[in-house]
Structure 1
Amino acid sequence: MDETHDDVLALFDGLRVADVRDGMDWVGLPHRGSVTREITPVAPGMRLCGRAFTVRTRPSDKVVPHGISPEEYTAWAHEYWYGEVNTSKAWRDGLRPGDVVVIEGADLGVGEVGSNNSLGWHVLGAVGVVTSGGVRDVDEVTAQGVPVFARYRSQSMTQGRIEFAEAGQPVALGDVVVRPGDVVVADGDGVIVVPVERAEEVARYGRQELENDKAIRRGYYQSLGWALDETVR
């Protein structure tokens, strides 16, 4: 995306999902953007904000070899499956700082996101991952701290189950369409997607409501004699 979009993204700094939801309501989009509540953070406290980098997976029709040794299976999985079939090599070099990897999963109970690939995408600039599919390696994902939001936990790897389909096209998170470049915000309240062409005004009114909320709660803090924290300053 262009530099202007980077500037618009900055308008969302510090906004909660609740504030963005309010901003969407304020600009006449009350039924847009809120992603299914089934997609949740892997760990409490995870939050992200960035532009959507979209990826779709599909069920695989590739044949898994039978009757081979574990060593042969290792070679097949590492060299063929993860080297050619289900690899992010085809699209990961397109990642830039500020991107959120948004995956429309094939819904086969597979952990298409894990501690390895989520961290690798983070190295390339991704601020986190949102998938309508599954996540595995949950303990390591939690320890690494790269935000991952997923619909379910899984134990399964992808070989013989799903494969990469395409990147850079509109995808679906439940009934919400996500286009490349749309703004994605996620925290403990879930995930919301803002159409990029409405992002600036959504951020403006989301900020208005955040500051209003802070002012009211700040008064309550003071009445209770509580020290002010970052949520009300």
Structure 2
Amino acid sequence: MTAEAALLAQFTALDTATVSDALDACGLPPGQGGLRPMWGRPRVAGFAVTVELEPLADEHTGAHIHTDTIASAGPDDVVVVANGGRTDVSSWGGILSVGASVRSVRGVVTDGACRDVGQARELGFPVFARAQVPATARGRLRQRSTGEPVALGEVTVHPGDVVLADEGGVVVVPRERAPQVLEAARRLAEREAAIEADVRAGVPLPQAMHDARLAGTEASR
């Protein structure tokens, strides 16, 4: 296993809530809600491959959106699509899921809507989006950029950042801070597990939740 794959495996073992708390402790933007798995309960961690879309302003559409991005993506990657939260037009569809699945891409997170969810489910390809809509992107959207920093809700995603998505939402970890955030998240997970064990053993909830372990003050060191 490469060092990159090992890093992603360690993030995949955590949930977005814990990593969001770790981002807070490290002085970084926390996770975001509203980006939901469109089928099942997948958990995906990968390095961001970024795309920004924009409304089509003329008749010339050029290449179909995402095709060049998918062609260059690989098995450690998650495609991140910036589309301004639009839910009236699809920013990801079934053929794109097929292409990404063939490339062993880990999943897609789109700040917008998607379609052809049944096809993605049959492929086992995780799609996180704000909504489903049948309206095609053809004639409505074009690709503004690929491989550039993009806005995913309130967070800026740079190519190569670690993206973790599950049923709780999405977190973005700057690549250069990933080891620090990972270590903070591990400590927080251990604290919460210990507190949960106390509660299950009969420790009163106010006493358990008052435990300084929950504050995670060590996580920022």
Q: Same fold (TM over 0.5)?
A: yes
Runs of at least 5 residues in structure 2 that lack an aligned partner in the other structure: 203-221
Compare relative contact order (CA 8 Å, sep 6+) and give the higher one, 1 or 2. 1
Scaled by the length of structure 2, the TM-score of the pair is 0.80
Q: Structure 1 residues 87, 25: CA separation in 2 closer, same or farther (over 3 Å shift)?
A: closer
Under a length normalisation based on structure 1, what TM-score does the superposition of the two structures give? 0.77
What residue number does 2:11 align with? Answer: 12
Q: Does 1:154 align with 2:151?
A: no
CA distance in 2, matches of 1:220, 1:114: 45
Given residue 95 of structure 1, which amino acid in structure 2 is its aligned partner? A
CA distance in 1, matches of 2:125, 2:87: 24
Per the alignment, residue 46 of structure 1 pairs with 42
Deviations 1:144-199 (A, max 9, x none): 33111111211111111011222100011122100001111111110110111111
Tell me, yes or no, if the aligned pair for 2:70 and 2:99 is still in contact at 8 Å.
no
Does 1:198 pair with 2:177? yes
Residues 18-97 of structure 1 mapped to structure 2, 5 A cutoff? 18-29=17-28, 32-35=29-32, 37-63=33-59, 84-97=62-75
Separation in 1, partners of 2:12, 2:91: 29
- What is the 5 A alignment of 1:68-217? 84-105=62-83, 107=86, 109-217=88-196
Task: Judge conservation of contact 1:46–1:145 (CA < 8 Å) in 2.
Answer: no
Q: Using the aligned pairs only, state the percent identity.
A: 35
Please report the RMSD computed on the Cα atoms of aligned residues, expressed in angstroms.
2.3
Tell whether the 8 Å contact from 1:86 to 1:162 is kept in structure 2 after alignment. Answer: no
Q: CA deviation at 1:110?
A: 1.3
Give the Cα–Cα distance (whole angstroms) in 2 for the partners of residues 17 and 108 of structure 1: 24
Aligned counterparts of 2:65 and 2:46: Cα–Cα separation in 1? 23
Answer yes or no: is the 8 Å Cα contact 2:24–2:30 preserved in 1: no
- What is the aligned residue count? 200
Report the structure, 1 or 2, having the larger strand content. Answer: 2
TM-aligned CA distance change 1:115 to 1:211, over 3 Å: farther
Gapped regions of structure 1 (runs ≥ 5): 65-80, 224-233
User: 2-side partners of 1:109 and 1:189: how far apart?
Assistant: 23
User: 1:14 is aligned with what amino acid?
Assistant: A
Q: Offset at 1:92?
A: 2.1
